[in-house]
Structure 1
Amino acid sequence: MILTHCAVCAVELGLSLGKKCGRCSTRYCGAECQKQHWEQGGHDKLCKLIKKSGGAEQYHANTKYSEAVTVAAEACAEDTKGQTCYICTQALHWKTKEGLVRGCACRGTAGVAHVSCLVEQAKILMDEAEENNLGLKALNERWPRWHKCSLCEQTYHGVVMCALGWACWKTYLGRPETDWPRCLAMQQLGHGLGAADHHEDALSVKEAEMAMLRRLSVPEGEMLNVQCNLAITYASLGRHEQALSLRRDIYSGRLKLNGEEHPETLREANNYATTLSELQRYQEAKSLLRKTMPVARRVLGEDNETRILTRWIYADALYTDPGATLDDLREAVTTLEDIEPIARRVLGGAHPRTMAIERTLQKARAASEAKATEAITPGERVADK
């Protein structure tokens, strides 16, 4: 997480409370914890090193980035075995000696790279746009290199996304908080932590991001995005009532701001329906999605990820509802059988959402078969034998 807690007792400090080490800016809740850290926690030996690295926040981000790269390379080792980086063409990175990763929709030998090479690629593109004053359009077009594969254009996932999140944050954290790359880097870090299931850490980052953007009085659309990310983390931590309250407000806000056909509104309908299902309010979830699905099909097309998710969430609500009929279960199976190959083609077979759809399909089939068996009378079972 970013440094919003005391380095000794871990009490929450937000972005402004407590005090800092005068040399390296390590944060504490007060003088007692600072003294303890210096005398017993080893800070006397690390303080100069932390300052030399750019201060506590930079040192922490650098350390977390290195750890995340190691984790990502280890997790991808089997998939990338015997391959080389498509950017530098080497198996081991010439400088860091890190292994290879792949966390996108690429297949075969495509998409395999070092995190460091992906980071350097993103930095070069952004630096070039800023140095040459190419304008906001160019910056917005290039920023996705921090989280999307340049070959398949799909968002990275899992531990690869986490490593890129730390890379992005360590690159821009030294800028003023009014600088938009720094704001986006904090958002990117929150996404990365969530993708790797570090939800408590993601919560700290997203709450800090929201507090910062409120101070900056950003437009309503940006605040809705931040609230959306926070609601995702609430849900991941099992805090579904808090997530639902946010989801209701966000969906309502998107309808008023963008209208029902806007992609952001359609994404928020998915999120709202998911939270309703998690709270077992299946009828409300299905009603919302039945209204949304034809709009998503018309606006986004069959191969859009949001459209895929809309149908998956609907099928999941159909089969998990305790009151599901046999027709409901068969509709769920048919829907999932239709979207599974689409997800595999668009997202790739290794993508977490593709695998989740496959698991949902297996469960829906089992539920449908069990329901069909229950519907057979004893006499019919004897006759079948």
Structure 2
Amino acid sequence: MVLTQCAACATELGLSLGKKCGRCSTRYCGPECQVQHWKEGGHDKLCKKIKKAGGAEQFRANQKCTEAVAVAAEACAEDTKGQTCYICTQALHWKTKEGLVRGCACRGTSGVAHVSCLAEQAKILVAEAEENNSDDLQWHRWNTCSLCEQKYHGVVRCALGWACWRTYVGRPEVDWARRDAMMQLGNGLADVDHHEDALPVREAELAIHRRLGLPEENILGVQTNLALTYSCLGRKEESLRMRRDVYYGRLKLHGEENESTLETANNYAWGLCGLKRFEEAKALLRKPMRVARRVLGENHELTLVLSWAYARALYSAEGATLDNLREAVTTLEKTERIARRVLGGAHPTTTGIDDHLRNARTVLRAREAGHRVIFTDAVV
């Protein structure tokens, strides 16, 4: 459930409070709001339309997806000018008339497509895998480019998140695809900093996982995403406690070489940095960094972000020495070169590393000249 507010007065209803319209399932805090919305809010004209679309949740998903696709196409218009979709070979989508997007590491004429084509491709691949009882469910096609194999980012990821949710929202909550679609939507909203919108999605996802008694690993994954959302909304102490619990939970379940353990080590470290506990972050990251280089390789994005976090803690610590600052700059220079080559210059990881490299160089130059520089940038 993503709709958690009364449609008339916006009172927060959580997952189960209030009542629903008997025809279209629009939610209200009570009969008074329902009557008011019917008489004054236009629901009398929309109710049948919402029911025909599949109910309130489906109707909203359809609307939000259309809006997100338009935003993504507009944002990518300059980059995709004069090109065609590599899936349908058209400039404008035959049905939706939407423009083209590209939100991965592809360059030149590669990776240009319509969000609707990418969504249809992912939907077909997942359906085929389900029908064949395949172990590879192809779910990664909802967030990963089939050409460069890098994850989509920004407005394209947000649009695909809404497309994924629109595709599977009609399934029962016990269905794995509906739950994973909720995760894709939350990730997409977070990628464009719509954290207030992502919060009810994350909280609903966690409540469903707990209610269904799903495996601990599944719950830890949802908590990881929720912790990031808490941090982005300024609830940093709450976020850090959850990140810590997730890290040690994964370490116990999977061991130090598991990729999910390394991911949560990175999340925990950034949480520590956000609270300026840089010495703790450095101590935490030393071993995961070495493990990531050995297990995943120097070019893996997770290896890059672990090195980025370590360097950030190095140059930001209150007692950072000149050697610490020089190590931070050297680490960020190497990491930035790899990120630019592997992910592309426009990727958020590359631009984030580049920003911190400039900061680290500024701190180093100031320290070498006998001055002191303190950055107060927000870190999640």
- Which TM-score tier does this pair reach, normalised by the shorter chain? over 0.9
Q: CA deviation at 1:14?
A: 2.0
Give CA deviations for 1:26-68 in whole Å, capped at 9, x if unaligned: 0001111111111111111111111111111110000000000
> What is the distance in 2 between the residues matched to 1:358 and 1:267?
21
What SS class does the counterpart of residue 374 from structure 1 fall into?
coil
Q: Which amino acid aligns with 2:181?
A: A
Q: CA deviation at 1:180?
A: 0.7
Q: CA deviation at 1:136?
A: 4.3
Give CA deviations for 1:177-224 in whole Å, capped at 9, x if unaligned: 111111111111111111111101101000000001111100011110
Give the corresponding residue for 2:377.
Answer: none
Alignment partner of 1:137 is 2:142 = no
Give the corresponding residue for 1:231.
Answer: 227
> What is the distance in 2 between the residues matched to 1:227 and 1:196?
20
Q: Which amino acid aligns with 2:52?
A: K
Q: CA deviation at 1:314?
A: 0.5
Q: How does 1:2-21 map to 2 (within 5 A)?
A: 2-21=2-21
Alignment partner of 1:160 is 2:139 = no
Give the corresponding residue for 1:320.
Answer: 316
> What is the distance in 2 between the residues matched to 1:317 and 1:9?
45
Percent identity at matched positions? 69
Give the corresponding residue for 2:262.
Answer: 266
Give the corresponding residue for 1:278.
Answer: 274
Aligned length in residues: 371
Give the corresponding residue for 2:52.
Answer: 52
Q: Which of 291-300 and 159-168 deviates more? A: 291-300
> What is the distance in 2 between the residues matched to 1:292 and 1:55?
46
Structure of larger gyration radius = 1
Alignment partner of 1:106 is 2:106 = yes
Query: Of 279, 299, 306, which aligns to 2:302?
Result: 306
Aligned CA RMSD, in angstroms, stands at: 1.1
> What is the distance in 2 between the residues matched to 1:197 and 1:287?
29
Q: What TM-score does the superposition give when structure 2 sets the normalisation length? A: 0.96
> What is the distance in 2 between the residues matched to 1:305 and 1:243?
23
Q: How does 1:182-261 map to 2 (within 5 A)?
A: 182-261=178-257
Give the corresponding residue for 2:374.
Answer: none
Q: Which structure 1 residue ranges, 4+ long, deviate > 6 Å from structure 2?
A: none
Q: CA deviation at 1:172?
A: 0.6
Give the corresponding residue for 1:380.
Answer: none
> What is the distance in 2 between the residues matched to 1:294 and 1:336?
16
Give CA deviations for 1:247-287 in whole Å, capped at 9, x if unaligned: 11011101110111111111111110100010000100001
Q: CA deviation at 1:236?
A: 1.2
> What is the distance in 1 between the residues matched to 2:313 and 2:119?
39
Q: Which amino acid aligns with 1:353?
A: T
> What is the distance in 2 between the residues matched to 1:255 and 1:38?
53
> What is the distance in 1 between the residues matched to 2:69 and 2:354?
29
Q: How does 1:68-79 map to 2 (within 5 A)?
A: 68-79=68-79
> What is the distance in 2 between the residues matched to 1:345 and 1:13?
47
> What is the distance in 2 between the residues matched to 1:66 and 1:312?
36
> What is the distance in 2 between the residues matched to 1:116 and 1:263?
31
> What is the distance in 2 between the residues matched to 1:122 and 1:305?
23
Structure 1, gaps ≥5 residues long: 376-385
Give the corresponding residue for 1:118.
Answer: 118
> What is the distance in 2 between the residues matched to 1:266 and 1:128?
32
Give the corresponding residue for 1:382.
Answer: none
Q: Which amino acid aligns with 1:254?
A: R
> What is the distance in 2 between the residues matched to 1:127 and 1:301?
33
> What is the distance in 1 between the residues matched to 2:129 and 2:255?
33
